[in-house]
A = this chain, B = another copy of it.
Amino acid sequence: MPLRAMLLLPLLLTALAVAAAHPLDPLSAAELAAVRAAVLASPLIPSRPLTFYYVGLDEPEKPDVLSYAYASGGAAAALPRRAFVIARAGGESHELRVDVTASANATVISHAVHTGAGFPTLTLEEQFAAVALPPSHAAFVESVRRRGVDMDDVLCAVFPVGWFGDGDGEPRRRRVAKVLCFVASETANFYARPIEGVTMVVDLDAMAIVGYRDRVTYPVPKAEGTDYRAGEVGPPYDGPTPAPGVVVQPEGRGFHVDGHVVRWANWEFHVGFDMRAGTVISLASLHDAGGAPRRRRQVLYRGFVSEIFVPYMDPVEEWYYRTFLDAGEYGLGLWAFPLIPGADCPSNAAYIDGHYSAQDGNPVDARNMICVFERYSGDVAWRHTEAGFPSQLVRPDASLVVRMVVSAGNYDYILDWEFKMSGSIKLVVSLTGLLEVKETAYSHTDQFDGDAHGKLVSENTIAVYHDHYVTYHLDLDVDGTNNSFVKNTITTITGDTGTNTPRRSYWTVKREVAEREADGQVDLTASESPSELAFVNTAKKTKMGNEIGYRIVPSGVATARSVLADDDFPQRRAAYCKRQVWVTPYAKAERWASGLYADQSNGGDDGLAAWSRRNRGIRGEDIVLWYTVGIHHVPCQEDFPVMPTISGGVELRPVNFFERNPLLRMKPPAPRQEQILVNGSCAR
């Protein structure tokens, strides 16, 4: 369990002196402190101790935010500032709304007790407390001794238990988690050295071990070959080394960060931070040079990672329940780490901090959670060679990247939003970090008899098959709030073409507009799946009469969908992972694909699949795209001891949104190379 320094802001109230917040700004440290004070002062929850599980912005109503952001003429009116809180006290999950418009006078304005299934995201503090229990648990001491391991070398981590039918109909189940342990000596990579066979169950409210099992003993894999730190990986490769390279911006950065609003080229958007979702992109809009005066046109009201479902594929006792919901159970913002300048993000990046609430409600100042940088990939934005005027016809590409890195235990997710001058937004998930491995008695594939449920990546070490499903909530508002979802299918026409030519076939495009939610679910891997998906604004057209839209372009290395049985318990909790694409009508409360209370959720009446069972109308409505980037991970030896990054994602690309290629009017970002460079080095 990583130990994160929690820096309490020493002078909370000074933060109040800054300018009025944008209505979508995350709660400031001062606001978080005010929320804490209001909740603790409220008579609505008399029980103590009271523990904070989630504190985040309770955003204003969408029409109010749109008016604020796009109102023409005159200053936009400030909107109320409110927090949504999940706290636990007296064995119950409480939901509160707190008005912090005036921080000095913060007030609880609503309170409810959660009566359904599931629990809130685990706090960091209770995980620290839970992993401190095993060393003083007698049975564990004996298990460790019997394996010849020194307890000082043991390090433990918390694993959610999932839900497997137990307590169905009893929503007030115990809030428990499993604790598994590893040998952390002689390597940084303790995940590679599990104490396989030992499973503990901790009651998180009582903070006590309530279950213990030592089922099977395997040799703990050796430390040799598991480390990934320089100096611990053997002699370095003695061949040529790639040259160091760095991006230089002789005129400085080209983007502007004003509070949480970022402006770059034709883009403007708001960057927020949430304990559960991490980065939240809002109000992304494009300035269109095509008309006069310059117009700001809506593209995306809100986008964030709603859930990451990671089911493992070994049904054995120590593994069957490993079916993680990383956002709902762990929290992506909670497990985001400060980005390392020059490594996680290039040296030309700027950084945005985050704030969240500790378990005691005090604000935590999380530095460098998000970085923003201009990318110069060496690619070409557009080009053409034609005789006679060759020098003017190539435009090098530049784009703007917004990045967060989440290290949810062993895995690292690099989550990028890339904004392009063409109007495209690319969402990229890059996976790296450490594999979750299982011990085995074997050291060669020939020794296996039957399904190993993974690949032998090192001696006594199986990397278990698993999936990653990263689900985005994308409230596209293409040139306005009301949109439709269009499925286009390439269709072959054969036979007499009626043209008196010898051509015998061609394809054309068959268009279907989704009427209801059931029509909005698409399995991208089905052979009959549409070749093109788009959100279009049916109320507006280009001068040529084409529908104004955005195409949804999957990057096909990551279009896996869940193949678990529909009645399997993890599948019921993440039922939405059966389809990569869902479309729902906008509803402010529908944010978390796995439901608000994901820990021990039972796939009941909250979550994307449940909401969509109502089969609401989605044609010409304010609709939301849910897109899942999916990867079946069959590990290989190259993934050990640390994985080379693999990436997948989806691109949102304008299609007849502009009257013409918008790049043509963008001034080229060509550097004045001759002034700064001599053979690729800084000039003297």
Does A553 lie at the interface of the complex (its beta carbon under 8 Å from any beta carbon of B)? yes
CB–CB A241/B253 < 8 A: no
**In the complex, what's the smallest C-beta–C-beta distance from A633 to chain B, in angstroms?**
11
Stretch at the interface among A96-104, A135-143, A261-269: A261-269
Stretch at the interface among A15-23, A169-177, A226-234: A226-234
| Cβ-closest chain B residue relative to A246 | B671
| Cβ-closest chain B residue relative to A292 | B235
Q: Which residues of B contact A644 (CB under 8 A)?
A: 381-382, 422, 424, 661, 663
| Cβ-closest chain B residue relative to A671 | B244
Does A449 lie at the interface of the complex (its beta carbon under 8 Å from any beta carbon of B)? no
CB–CB A264/B240 < 8 A: yes
Binary per-residue interface labels of chain A (174-204) against chain B in the complex, 1 for a CB within 8 Å, 0 otherwise: 0000000000000010000000000000000
Q: Which residues of B contact A502 (CB under 8 A)?
A: 164-166, 320, 569
CB–CB A343/B252 < 8 A: no
| Cβ-closest chain B residue relative to A456 | B544
CB–CB B228/A565 < 8 A: no
Does A80 lie at the interface of the complex (its beta carbon under 8 Å from any beta carbon of B)? no
Does A11 lie at the interface of the complex (its beta carbon under 8 Å from any beta carbon of B)? no
CB–CB B680/A682 < 8 A: no
Does A613 lie at the interface of the complex (its beta carbon under 8 Å from any beta carbon of B)? no
Complexed CA–CA distance, A197 and B606 (Å):
61
Which 5 A-B residue pairs are closest in the complex by CB-CB distance?
A556-B556, A243-B254, A445-B545, A682-B682, A505-B565
| Cβ-closest chain B residue relative to A4 | B387
CB–CB A545/B248 < 8 A: no
Question: Which parts of A640-675 form the interface with B (CB within 8 Å)?
Answer: 640-645, 647, 651, 654-673
Binary per-residue interface labels of chain A (372-412) against chain B in the complex, 1 for a CB within 8 Å, 0 otherwise: 01111111111111111111111111101100010100101
CB–CB A248/B681 < 8 A: yes
CB–CB A446/B665 < 8 A: no
Interface size grouping (class) on chain A: 35 or more
CB–CB A405/B377 < 8 A: no
Q: Which residues of B contact A677 (CB under 8 A)?
A: 246, 248, 347
- Partner of A2 from B230, B386, B433, B557 at Cβ < 8 Å: B386
Known: A233-B665, A501-B316, A503-B569. A343 touches B492 (CB 8 A): no
Does A602 lie at the interface of the complex (its beta carbon under 8 Å from any beta carbon of B)? no
CB–CB B347/A389 < 8 A: no
Does A156 lie at the interface of the complex (its beta carbon under 8 Å from any beta carbon of B)? no
Q: Which residues of B contact A382 (CB under 8 A)?
A: 228, 432, 642-645
CB–CB A670/B240 < 8 A: no
CB–CB A384/B236 < 8 A: no
Known: A247-B247, A503-B315. A384 touches B164 (CB 8 A): no
Stretch at the interface among A39-47, A300-308, A353-361, A526-534: A526-534
CB–CB B565/A494 < 8 A: yes
Complexed CA–CA distance, A253 and B314 (Å):
47
Name which of A1, A247, A342 has the most chain B CB atoms within 10 A of its CB: A247
- Partner of A385 from B252, B407, B451, B543 at Cβ < 8 Å: B407
Complexed CA–CA distance, A558 and B651 (Å):
13
CB–CB A337/B385 < 8 A: yes
| Cβ-closest chain B residue relative to A230 | B392
CB–CB B228/A384 < 8 A: yes
CB–CB B243/A374 < 8 A: yes
**In the complex, what's the smallest C-beta–C-beta distance from A330 to chain B, in angstroms?**
14
18 intermolecular pairs with C-beta atoms under 8 Å apart:
A238-B294, A239-B289, A240-B264, A240-B265, A241-B666, A244-B249, A245-B248, A246-B250, A248-B677, A320-B501, A337-B385, A342-B396, A347-B677, A494-B565, A504-B569, A505-B571, A532-B634, A546-B636
**In the complex, what's the smallest C-beta–C-beta distance from A551 to chain B, in angstroms?**
8
Q: Which residues of B contact A527 (CB under 8 A)?
A: 525-528
Binary per-residue interface labels of chain A (583-610) against chain B in the complex, 1 for a CB within 8 Å, 0 otherwise: 0000000000000000000000000000
Known: A250-B244, A430-B380, A545-B445. A237 touches B666 (CB 8 A): yes
Does A537 lie at the interface of the complex (its beta carbon under 8 Å from any beta carbon of B)? no
Does A488 lie at the interface of the complex (its beta carbon under 8 Å from any beta carbon of B)? yes
Known: A245-B669, A249-B243, A509-B634. A347 touches B680 (CB 8 A): yes
Complexed CA–CA distance, A657 and B683 (Å):
43
Q: Which residues of B contact A253 (CB under 8 A)?
A: 243, 680
